[in-house]
A and B are shown apart, each in its own frame.
Chain A
Amino acid sequence: MRVARQPLWTAAFLAPSVALIGVFVLVPIGLTLWLSLHEWSTATPFGEASWVGLDNFKALFEGAIVGRDFRQSWRNTFVYAGLSIALILPLSVVLGIIIQRSTIRGRTVLRTVLFATYTIPMIAVAIVWSKLYSPSEGPINEALGWFGIAPQPWLSDTSTALVSLVFLNVWQQLGYFTVLVVAGLTQISPSVFEAAALDGARTLKLHAYVTIPLLRRTLLFCVVIALINAIQVFEPVVAITQGGPVGSTNVLTYHIRQVGIERSQGGLASAMAVMLLLSLMVVVTLVFALARRAEDR
């Protein structure tokens, strides 16, 4: 390019973004790392923090209540994320294929209805679902009764509360991922499908052996985004379950905020945030490694 070097304009145009992202994202990341090695009350200036080395991290791995609560919320978060992905991924592939490849009528309506839920504020979703789940006046248990299924305790029992939140998440996010799959399918040349069909491949086989392998990159991307979205689950917990019953829906975003903001234990909460970030990086690396191995095969 001819006049590509514009040092003054470069600086001027980048300044707002770099300053804002720097001060409100990059500096806080550094501070989270730094604070995780300190004892610090969130109500005091950063200068008040006192060095404790790895004590915060030790507390997270030890048996006392601090560690137990953290490990429970860590487990809940990743179970929630895993279950969400396990439901979202196959459903969005099937629905994406129906919307993009099938010839049934009303496909656009299906897409519109599915995606619309993604624009609804999570707090509203949480409130509506808390009423749907209501054991006595709730329509879900009523509808289950029509098929002879016993009423479920949903949000009020330790064994079902987390799964109930997973369903709510899947309901809200499915349309978004379906549209991502549709976008991935449009990248595949139609001639691939024609060639496969000419070879006499039946629909199911066609999709299992042709479509899904070609969607690999899209699916990998979906898994990573679904994971990061799942880790952010917050509104249903803060507004409906408060982490209960008995900590069964205590998840990391909620727990870290409780410790760091509500209880002002900024250092300890920062150590939890660092553990979350590390876990996320490990899981994402594993997902990529698995995907590469599947590709090599």
Chain B
Amino acid sequence: MTAGRLASRTSLYAFALLVCVVTAFPVLWMVATSLKTPSEALQSPPVWIPGSPTLEAYGQVGDVIDVGRSFLNSALIATITTAGILVTSLLAGYVFAKYRFRGRNALFALLIATMFLPPIVTLIPLFRIVGQLGIDGSLAGVIVPNLANAFGIFLMRQFIAGVPDELIEAARLDGASELRIVFSIVAPVVLPALAALALFAFVYHWNSYLWPLTVLQGNEDHAPIVLSLARLLTYTGSAQNTPIVMAGATLAVLPPLLLFVVLQRFFVNTMARTGLSG
């Protein structure tokens, strides 16, 4: 190895390490701060590593927000929305991949175009529509408008197109109904894609903020953890309460982050196949 090559490899490692440190730092700081005592949190220059780590702040989160309830709300919102997206996307994806009908391409294009729409463009009439339906201020109001989306349909069509027609044809000859074909023949074949869609949808709707904030109109009983977290911040403004806020943030971050760390292969492979997410 020449001196120049060694130098360039060293700088490559240094750059990669720097990026890792800068990227991981805010998360590590969040966890470290959640373990600090109030007086440590006040110190300037800041304390980098808590001297006597304490879980006290985690207990105090519950004094300000209903942690259990918020987690339950987030879990309900993310799980039901994801289940809905899986079913609607599977059915529509199957139609667009395997059926012929007039206007198919136009309808597909119309649906897909909505994928690129910033949510704020439709927020105001949507808020009113959900109000007219009488489901504003409730979990149903958060969930129902998101039960189908263009990304899911697009993803499913891409993957179902790869399912051999012979497989579907054989099932038809055996007398299987179309519904049965979708759920017992097609779905198992595209299971990895369904799993990836489930992951993306779950994380997206666990994290989603703008719509729940708007539709719930301050109804705390139905607030997901992301909204409760913002409330935690306003109620614990002063610097000595920072550990409480960080403890809340750590709790809120855990489910999507753990899900990613355990199942990251699904995320990355799907993005490689479709170049998309959201």
Our pick among B44, B124, B128, B178 for the contact of A136 (Cβ within 8 Å) is B44
Are the C-beta atoms of A129 and B209 separated by less than 8 Å? Answer: no
Q: Which residues of A contact B259 (CB under 8 A)?
A: 119
Our pick among B100, B148, B242 for the contact of A17 (Cβ within 8 Å) is B148
Q: Does B239 contact A (CB under 8 A)?
A: yes
Q: Which residues of A contact B46 (CB under 8 A)?
A: 137-139, 142
Task: Find the residue from A106, A107, A132, A183 having the highest chain B CB count within 10 A.
Answer: A183
Nearest Cβ on chain B to A212's Cβ, whole angstroms: 17
Given A109-B20, A221-B275, also A276-B118 (CB < 8 A): yes
Are the C-beta atoms of A124 and B124 separated by less than 8 Å? Answer: no
The A-B contact count (CB < 8 A) is 277
Q: Does B140 contact A (CB under 8 A)?
A: no
Are the C-beta atoms of A114 and B16 separated by less than 8 Å? Answer: no
Chain A contact residues: helix, strand, loop or mixed: helix
Are the C-beta atoms of A1 and B165 separated by less than 8 Å? Answer: yes
Nearest CB in chain B to that of A131: its residue: B242
Are the C-beta atoms of B203 and A32 separated by less than 8 Å? Answer: no
Nearest Cβ on chain B to A210's Cβ, whole angstroms: 18
Q: Does B245 contact A (CB under 8 A)?
A: yes
Chain A 1-60 residues near chain B, CB threshold 8 A: 1-7, 9-10, 13-14, 16-18, 20-21, 23-29, 31-32, 35, 42, 45-46
Are the C-beta atoms of A121 and B26 separated by less than 8 Å? Answer: no
Q: Which residues of B contact A35 (CB under 8 A)?
A: 124-125
**Which of A156-164, A192-200, A230-238, A285-293 binds B?**
A230-238
Are the C-beta atoms of A32 and B122 separated by less than 8 Å? Answer: yes
Q: Does A78 contact B (CB under 8 A)?
A: no
Are the C-beta atoms of B91 and A14 separated by less than 8 Å? Answer: yes
Q: Does A273 contact B (CB under 8 A)?
A: yes
Are the C-beta atoms of B120 and A121 separated by less than 8 Å? Answer: no
Q: Does A83 contact B (CB under 8 A)?
A: no
Nearest Cβ on chain B to A146's Cβ, whole angstroms: 10
Are the C-beta atoms of B209 and A234 separated by less than 8 Å? Answer: yes
Nearest Cβ on chain B to A32's Cβ, whole angstroms: 6
Chain A 232-280 residues near chain B, CB threshold 8 A: 232, 234-235, 238-239, 252-253, 256-257, 260-261, 266, 269-270, 273, 276-277, 280
Q: Which residues of B contact A175 (CB under 8 A)?
A: 23
Assembled-state Cα–Cα distance A111/B267 (Å): 12
Our pick among A26, A114, A176, A269 for the contact of B19 (Cβ within 8 Å) is A114
Are the C-beta atoms of A17 and B89 separated by less than 8 Å? Answer: yes
Q: Which residues of A contact B117 (CB under 8 A)?
A: 25, 29, 277
Q: Does B207 contact A (CB under 8 A)?
A: yes
Nearest Cβ on chain B to A154's Cβ, whole angstroms: 14
Q: Does B33 contact A (CB under 8 A)?
A: yes
Fill in one digit per residue for A113-154: 1 if any B CB lies within 8 Å of its CB, else 0: 111110111111101110110101111001000000000000
Assembled-state Cα–Cα distance A17/B207 (Å): 23
Nearest CB in chain B to that of A98: its residue: B16
Are the C-beta atoms of A182 and B253 separated by less than 8 Å? Answer: no
Assembled-state Cα–Cα distance A131/B145 (Å): 34
Q: Which residues of A contact B95 (CB under 8 A)?
A: 9-10, 13-14
Q: Does B158 contact A (CB under 8 A)?
A: no
Our pick among A42, A98, A110, A239 for the contact of B128 (Cβ within 8 Å) is A42
Q: Does A189 contact B (CB under 8 A)?
A: no
Q: Does B55 contact A (CB under 8 A)?
A: no
Are the C-beta atoms of B230 and A123 separated by less than 8 Å? Answer: yes
Q: Which residues of B contact A136 (CB under 8 A)?
A: 44
Q: Does A64 contact B (CB under 8 A)?
A: no
Assembled-state Cα–Cα distance A184/B272 (Å): 8
Nearest Cβ on chain A to B160's Cβ, whole angstroms: 12
Nearest CB in chain A to that of B89: its residue: A17
Assembled-state Cα–Cα distance A234/B126 (Å): 18
Q: Which residues of B contact A7 (CB under 8 A)?
A: 101
Fill in one digit per residue for B181-192: 1 if any A CB lies within 8 Å of its CB, else 0: 010000000000
Are the C-beta atoms of A276 and B121 separated by less than 8 Å? Answer: yes
Q: Does A191 contact B (CB under 8 A)?
A: no
Our pick among B43, B92, B126, B148 for the contact of A28 (Cβ within 8 Å) is B126
Q: Does B45 contact A (CB under 8 A)?
A: yes
Q: Which residues of B contact A113 (CB under 8 A)?
A: 20, 23-24
Fill in one digit per residue for B68-94: 1 if any A CB lies within 8 Å of its CB, else 0: 000000000000000000011101101
Q: Which residues of A contact B45 (CB under 8 A)?
A: 142
Nearest Cβ on chain A to B47's Cβ, whole angstroms: 9
Extra contacts besides A18-B111, A20-B148, A124-B30 (18): CB < 8 Å: A9-B99, A16-B92, A21-B148, A31-B129, A119-B203, A119-B260, A120-B257, A121-B229, A123-B229, A128-B246, A131-B33, A137-B46, A234-B209, A235-B210, A257-B214, A260-B124, A273-B120, A276-B118
Those 6 A-B pairs whose CB atoms lie nearest each other, nearest first: A28-B122, A31-B125, A20-B148, A121-B207, A24-B145, A13-B91
Q: List 5 A-B contacts (CB under 8 A).
A: A17-B111, A17-B153, A32-B125, A110-B19, A137-B41
